[in-house]
Amino acid sequence: MAARHFLRNPKDLQDYGSWAVVTGTTDGIRKALVFELASKGLNLGLIGWNPSKLEATSSELRDRFGATTEVKTGVADLTKLSGEEIAAAIAGATEGIDVRLLVNDAGLAYPYPSCFHEVDRELMESMLRVNVNAALWATKGVIDGMLKRKRGAILNSGSGSSVCIPSFPLLTLYASTKAYIRIVAIYKFDRVNNVMDYK
């Protein structure tokens, strides 16, 4: 009874279209999400930094789903690329396909909790590039087409650190990047929802 009031029915992702592009696709829960999307009948554009892991994931998808799922891959080390380079990598991986679902799932966190002043500068820069820049530039790369067709969905992978706990002193930068993406999504889609025809 309570579930009926608090949970809604899942959306049929194919209502948006047949192609999903996913960043950060070769390990753990992110990899599981890719297989879940394929099980729903979606074709996949996979963006990752490790060519051998991308190929292994692609092979596993083809073995499990056969010809029902097309897979394209794009290699992009999001820790090192500028925004324009990220957009170019997304464009290259999605050339010739009609992207209707974007899953910004790439993420980077600290290897262990640290105070802000203890965070290595290179890690800080990498975290900002992966958690913020990659999501923004990937979204920028597909949203114009979605608006033109009045159909599409963008899913930003989040973290409870951005909403559940009022203070995260040992994960300040990570929590801040996730909170930033959450706020961008709220404001961006408040405007976009008035233009797109969601089912």
Neighbour count for residue 18 (Cβ, 10 Å): 16
In the set 174, 180, 187, 198, the catalytic residue is: 174
- What's the token pair of residue 128? 């900002």
* CA atoms of 150 and 100, how far apart (whole Å): 10
Q: What are the tens digits of pLDDT across the range 148-177? A: 888 888 888 877 776 776 667 888 888 888
Confidence category of residue 30, pLDDT binned at 50, 70, 90: confident
To the query of whether residue 112 is one of the catalytic residues in this protein, the response is no
Residues above pLDDT 70, as percent of the chain:
87
In this structure, which amino acid lies at residue 44?
Answer: L
Beta bridge partners of 43: 19
- What's the token pair of residue 53? 């892991």
Q: Say whether 111 sits in a helix, a strand or coil.
A: coil
